[in-house]
A and B are shown apart, each in its own frame.
Chain A
Amino acid sequence: MKIFLMTAMAIILSVNIAIAAPQIGQPAPDFTGTDTFGMSHRLSDYIGKTVVLEWTNTECPYVGKHYSTGNMQAMQKAAAAKGIIWLTIASSAEGKQGYTTPEQANEYIKANNAQATARILDPSGEIGGLYEAKTTPHMFVINPEGLLVYEGAIDDDPKFKKDGMRGARNYVIAALRAIDAGQPVEVTQTQPYGCSVKY
């Protein structure tokens, strides 16, 4: 009986975890991921620092838009200068578009001069599932208290075409500035755009 109850509880809990979506203003779900150099990163170790999560797929044209123009790298560099942790996460499953070995990922980082703190490989889709990451790029901003303060698109130009980056309103930069200034984040949620995450 005891064993039965415990099993039932375990099932209930696991179902709950699977259902709980990340909520704005709530603690961001904790995870541990391994980067392209084999180092492990636990989100909760970065309490006290602002963290940006960027879902990526090296072959997605929308990711390409932000990397080929240098827009993403510029954001990453500016974030690094402010002591912000920037984790790029690739949730493509093995055999799907955007899946890379650590070596291939490092080549990509080098070729594109990516400036993120680390690139986490999540081929099981576990972290992607935890955050319900839908697109590449799908961005999340977590404040130093560990609360999720922004979730959605990188900017308000959801089109692949156009030279949009200059005129576009960048939601991630706006959120980071608000945190820096101790202000509440104004736009907390937008529709993410891009390719679907290839789980």
Chain B
Amino acid sequence: MKYFFFLTFFILNIIAGESHAQERHATLEIFASQKEASAGNTFYIAIRQNIDDEWHTYWQNAGDSGEPMSIEWITQDGVTISDLRFPTPKEIRYDPLVNYGFEGRPIYLQTVTVDEDFKDDAITLQGDAFWLICKEICIPEMQTISLTIPVGANRETTNSSIFVQAKNNMPQEKDWPARLEKKGNTAFLTVSVPEDVRNNFQTVEVYPYDWGVMKTAETAVTDIRDNGEVVISKTAEDRDFAELVEPQFVLKTEAGAYVVKAGTGGAADVVAASSVPFLVIIIFAFIGGIILNLMPCVFPILSMKALSLVKLSGQERRHAQASGIGYTVGIVASFVAIALLLIGLKAAGASIGWGFQLQNPYVVAILATLLFVIALNLAGLFEISSRFVNLGARFTRGNDVKSSFFTGVLACMVATPCSAPFMASAIGYALTQTMIIAIIVFIILGLGLAFPYLILCFIPKVQKILPKPGPWMQSFRQFLAFPMMASAIWLVWVLSRQAGDMAVLYILALFLTITFIIWLYRRSVKRSVKSIIAAVMIAILIVYAPLLSKGDAPAHEAFTQARLQTALEENPDRPVFVNMTASWCITCLVNERTTLSQASVTQTFEDYNVLYMKGDWTNKNQEITQYLESFQRNGVPLYVFYNKADENGRRPEPQILPQILTPAQVIGIVKGETP
């Protein structure tokens, strides 16, 4: 009785809720694949859910929350309706939670089978559909749908465009051998994909049909191996995989979406699979670190450290070794600190990649000032006391380890604006890995950076290569001020793009003030007078520091996900070229000068009616970060070309261009000559 009361109350509540819901956020339409049907016949019905903008419904595994659509059919005797088939889902992020579902107009499919002994005049399908629809808030909605198909011999198909579209959006079922394993807290899905398919994709999004298999919020890492296996790894949920019966997954790739069924066993193979690319990455990281030494911002520091060795007598070699170790520890510690900062920010939900530090104008200003001051020092305006940083002018005994440590920290700081080519891919990889692996990659980078100096310190034979000390050293040191100054100029320009002309005025005034204060301190004026003047000037600078924050956004042809989507869908005959760039990305700018602004390339774009979209990642931009991530990238440049649609109205998978462009290559891809 009590239950009856509650039940009535509950039903009344639903009805009341229904009548209050003046505004529905999704409506269903139902279509049959045939004009008529008869006994013994099987046909399809398609249910299209027309979802309001910004709202979403759920896939059969809804992810962290939500409820998929269900339909309760009231069927006639002799008519059976299969389970609801869902189209390929997409990730819908509400940080920190991620759902799997649909936006726009998903089409669901069901199969209707009419028994051999069916006798009625018409097939009437009626069902109560129920779904949850969300946009921050969630609303349950329901709708009764019905469809009547006359019984007859006319099996002519109808609504073919709906069914073609539905089929295209359904993941294709494949019997590719697959297995699922858990190693530590990582889930590995290994799939043997036939070569013709495998060659057509680079990245895989994975959607498990079961709950509790993979952490929704993590990004999957795809490893396409030479032996034909595709290994997809993602942080595992703590559910016991042994509970799973034939776990199924949707693999969404550039080539299409596929359903695979996995067994669960045999873990040994997977370890080797993941360790191979890891080794390669470690080597890349090390080479990247070494190359970093040649960058204009780091090279002077290494040179000064090397010069200090020239002056050493045989007995002081021990100090050289200690200094080498101090320098290495300083660099590695700084890299680990950067790694922890990155990981911490990522864990806190920030959407960042390498280069993030240059997205903040204050950091850019500090780095520019640092480079400028080092340049002044190298030029000989002043000497830094060796308490903290020894740029090699002197080699004091007591402090050499400590000063070398801070020189290492300094080297790392000035290195941050210049990332070497190999470094970017190593860092990109590191950020998608577990914390331990990420830190290892950063440590190796640091070791690479420290390596040349370490060799100099430890191998006397190498030291002999260094030229004899002499007056040339002073000239060389002064010369090194120029690359430093050049780096500072570049950062000032980055700042001008980032925060506008007032920021440039500010940073130049800052340079002037600092130079003046340094000059002042070297005059024989009373100490108190010096301090007062310096304090006043610094106070004024601090008051005006907000000039560094962003002014008006610089004008550029803007990328937005929505605009790209519209361009891709509504204008299938128009190719799209996406250029993800940033003012602080030297490679990007070089590419724009040498390739993208070349007459031959612009002419080709014009001839082929290419839509050229540019995403500016100079400042933080969530949408661009996500776009980069969708191509497994963590930094710019990224160039993607979407060719026009083929006869079937489907665009081929987007092509990713290399990070260093040539006009011939871009023209080739646009003309369709390059594979």
Contact = CB atoms under 8 A, between A and B. Distances in A.
A191 B65 CA distance: 9
A34 interface: no
Contact of A61 (B139, B343, B435): B139
A152 to B, nearest CB: 9
B333 A97 contact: no
A159 B70 CA distance: 9
Nearest to B215: A21
Contacts of B130: 159-161
Interface stretch (A10-18, A38-46, A104-112, A114-122): A10-18
B600 to A, nearest CB: 49
B6 A191 contact: no
B65 A129 contact: no
Interface in B330-370: 333, 336-337, 340-341, 343-344, 347-348
A117 to B, nearest CB: 24
B635 interface: no
A21 to B, nearest CB: 7
Instruction: Give the residue among B95, B130, B132, B337 with the most A Cβ atoms within 10 A.
Output: B132
B537 interface: no
B575 interface: no
A61 B138 contact: yes
Contacts of B340: 8, 11-12, 15
A195 B65 contact: yes
Contacts of A1: 405
Given A15-B435, A196-B97, A160 B67 contact: yes
Contacts of B17: 61
B9 interface: yes
A8 B337 contact: yes
Contacts of A97: 136-137
Interface in B313-341: 333, 336-337, 340-341
A14 B7 contact: no
A193 B66 CA distance: 7
A158 B405 CA distance: 59
A6 B542 CA distance: 29
Contacts of A2: none
Given A161-B130, A195-B65, A195-B138, A23 B238 contact: yes
B10 A196 contact: no
B239 interface: yes
Given A24-B238, A61-B140, A189-B212, A134 B6 contact: no
A20 to B, nearest CB: 11
A94 interface: no
Nearest to B409: A4
Interface in A56-73: 59-61, 64-65, 68-71
A70 B9 CA distance: 10
A134 B10 contact: no
Given A59-B137, A134-B64, A196-B64, A191 B211 contact: yes
Interface in B199-246: 211-212, 238-239
A28 interface: no
Interface in B54-84: 64-67, 70
A162 B665 CA distance: 61
B96 interface: yes
B65 A11 contact: no
B140 A196 contact: no
B142 interface: yes
B67 A18 contact: no
Instruction: Give the residue among B6, B134, B138, B140 with the most A Cβ atoms within 10 A.
Output: B138
A11 B344 contact: yes
B419 interface: no
A158 B138 CA distance: 15
A4 B70 contact: no
Interface size band for A? 35 or more
Interface size band for B? 35 or more
A198 B96 CA distance: 10
Contacts of A4: 333, 337
Interface in A147-199: 158-161, 163, 165-166, 189, 191-199
Nearest to B13: A68
Nearest to A17: B347
A161 B63 CA distance: 20
A91 to B, nearest CB: 11
A196 B65 contact: yes
Contacts of B132: 61, 160, 195
Contact of B348 (A18, A61, A161, A197): A18
B344 A14 contact: yes
B13 A60 contact: no
B198 to A, nearest CB: 32
B3 interface: yes
Contact of A194 (B6, B14, B65, B239): B65
Interface in B111-154: 130, 132, 134, 136-140, 142
A132 to B, nearest CB: 8
B519 interface: no
Contact of B65 (A8, A61, A96, A135): A135
A158 B96 contact: no
Given A15-B343, A70-B6, A191 B96 contact: no
A162 B393 CA distance: 81
Contact of B97 (A8, A134, A193): A134
A159 B344 contact: no
Contacts of A14: 344
B21 to A, nearest CB: 11
Contacts of A191: 211-212
Nearest to A198: B136
Nearest to A128: B96
Given A61-B139, A69-B6, A159 B347 contact: no
Contacts of B142: 161
Given A134-B64, A196-B66, A69 B9 contact: yes
B390 to A, nearest CB: 16
A60 B343 CA distance: 34
B94 interface: yes
Nearest to A64: B13
Nearest to B405: A1
A159 B333 CA distance: 52
A19 interface: yes
B99 interface: yes
A165 B95 CA distance: 31
Nearest to A96: B136
Instruction: Give the residue among A8, A158, A160 with the most B Cβ atoms within 10 A.
Output: A160
Contacts of B337: 4, 7-8, 11
A185 B340 CA distance: 39
Contact of B67 (A68, A71, A193, A198): A193
9 contacts: A11-B337, A61-B17, A61-B139, A134-B97, A159-B70, A165-B6, A191-B212, A195-B134, A199-B94
Given A69-B9, A197-B97, 5 more contacts: A8-B340, A161-B14, A161-B140, A195-B137, A195-B138
Interface of A: 1, 4, 7-8, 11-12, 14-15, 18-19, 21, 23-24, 59-61, 64-65, 68-71, 96-97, 129, 134-135, 158-161, 163, 165-166, 189, 191-199
Interface of B: 3, 6-7, 9-11, 13-14, 17, 64-67, 70, 94-97, 99, 130, 132, 134, 136-140, 142, 211-212, 238-239, 333, 336-337, 340-341, 343-344, 347-348, 405, 435
Q: Which 4 pairs, one residue from A and one from B, show the smallest C-beta to C-beta distance? A: A196-B65, A191-B211, A195-B138, A97-B137
